[in-house]
Amino acid sequence: MSADILLEVRGLRTVFDTRAGQVCAVDGVDVTVNRGECLGIVGESGSGKSVTFASVMGLVRVPGRIEAGEIVFDGIDLRKLSAKKMQAMRGRDIAMTMQDALTALNPALTVGEQLAEMLAAHADDLPPGRMARRAAIRARAIEMLTRVGIPSAGERLGQYPHEFSGGMRQRIMIALALAAKPRLLIADEPTTALDVTIQAQVLELISALRAEFGMSVVLITHDLGVVAQHCDRVMVMYAGQVVEEGPTAQVIRQPRHPYTQGLLASIPRPARRGQPIRPIQGQVPELVNLPPQCRFLERCPLADDACRHPIDMRPAGPERRARCIRITTPDIEKGLSHDI
């Protein structure tokens, strides 16, 4: 493994046993996160983004389970770790923020309590003695809240999550995730629940903290615009698989996979003013008993009989890969480069 790689996932397969059959939410996913980089993950709802990273955190719940794959974090195979050791890594080495801060924060505990327990669990440089320890934890909690932009943090430690605005809650969750200065932050749709101006602030905050702490960030989002602004590389997921990955600028300028092309064509952008927005037709297939063929087949404008067998990822340029038998550069994307 290269020294630059922080997280490497190989052949991850996570399934849910349901009454309708086995739902294969993540099917053969590879992820590489380099040190210090920001990797964007995009894809429609239900494409397996959250389940992939819940698997990385070891937080898949019944009826779900990881069926196959290797998850290596900084040289450690996480799937082989004991529950105790995995617990020690969560929060301290790999942290996560969840899609909805309102439901992710415990409604019955104050923000101060939730920060304090996090610090107590992970900070090993606290002074001895109960009172000194308490004071140090409190000081650090205030410091964290202030850092993420919560005014008069000291007074607000005693408040409950519902007493904060949505944007503030998102910041609190980020403060919690970063309290132990992790090396990898998985930010699952940190802005979906927020309005536009707050979105920009929260993303700026994550970028600033990434630089400050020198950590890597996985940014899960629906929004290619966010990826274009904040991510070094991007990974596009569809129906439990990665369909395209590469450096952000290149993927956006020249999407190789018809699904990525569709995603790009479906967002309104100033450069295409006057042209109609074209949403991708059809729906994501049910992830139960999928036929052995390209998963995008029903929705793909380029599909033909050659696509009726399982498609592997294949090289699509320097540092790029895509899961399509026709690696194309269609003309619709010409001239749509950096203006997202």
Partner 1 sequence: MTLTRLLERLLQLIPVLLGVSVIVFVMMALTPGDPIQIMIGDQIVTAEQEAQMRRDIGLDRPMVERFFVFLGNAIQFDFGQSFYHRRPVADVILERLPATIELTIVAMLIALVTAIPLGVLAAVRKNSIFDRIATVGGLLGVSLPGFWFGILLLMLFAVHLNILPVAGRINYGISQGITPYTHFLLIDTLLNGRLDAFRNALAHIILPAVTLGLPMTAILMRVTRTAMLEVLRTDYVTFAQAKGLSRQRILWRHALKNALIPTVSVAAIETGSLLGGNMIIETVFGWPGLGRLVVESIFVRNYPLVQAAVLLYAVIYVMLNFFADILYTILNPRVKL
Ligand X SMILES: Nc1ncnc2c1ncn2[C@@H]1O[C@H](COP(=O)(O)OP(=O)(O)OP(=O)(O)O)[C@@H](O)[C@H]1O
Residue 167 binding result from ligand SF4, Mg ion, ligand X, none, given CB thresholds of 5 to 8 Å by partner type? none
CB of 297 to ligand SF4, least distance (A): 4
Applying CB under 6 A, the site for ligand SF4 has a residue count of 12
* Integer Cα distance of 57 and 39 in angstroms: 16
| Closest alpha carbon to 47 in 302, 285, 292 | 285
CB of 312 to ligand X, least distance (A): 21
CB of 214 to ligand X, least distance (A): 27
| Closest alpha carbon to 233 in 1, 11, 34, 47 | 34
One symbol per residue from 74 to 113: x for binding ligand X (CB under 6 A), - otherwise; what is it? -------------------------x--------------
Decide if residue 43 touches ligand X (CB under 6 A).
yes
Please, which of residues 105-144 interact with partner 1 by CB under 8 A?
105-109, 117-118, 121-122
Three-state DSSP class for residue 337: coil
Closest to ligand SF4 by CB, 181 vs 326, is 326
Among 6, 27, 39, 46, binds ligand X (CB under 6 A): 46
Decide if residue 50 touches Mg ion (CB under 5 A).
yes
C-alpha torsion angle, residues 94, 100, 104, 110 (rounded to 10): 110
Structure tokens at 51: 């389940």
CB of 66 to ligand X, least distance (A): 13
CB of 284 to ligand X, least distance (A): 7
Three-state DSSP class for residue 12: strand
Tell me the C-alpha to C-alpha distance, in Å, between residue 168 and each of 53, 203, 209, 270, 301.
24, 13, 16, 31, 43
Residue 51 binding result from Mg ion, partner 1, ligand X, none, given CB thresholds of 5 to 8 Å by partner type? ligand X
- The size of the chain, in residues, is 340
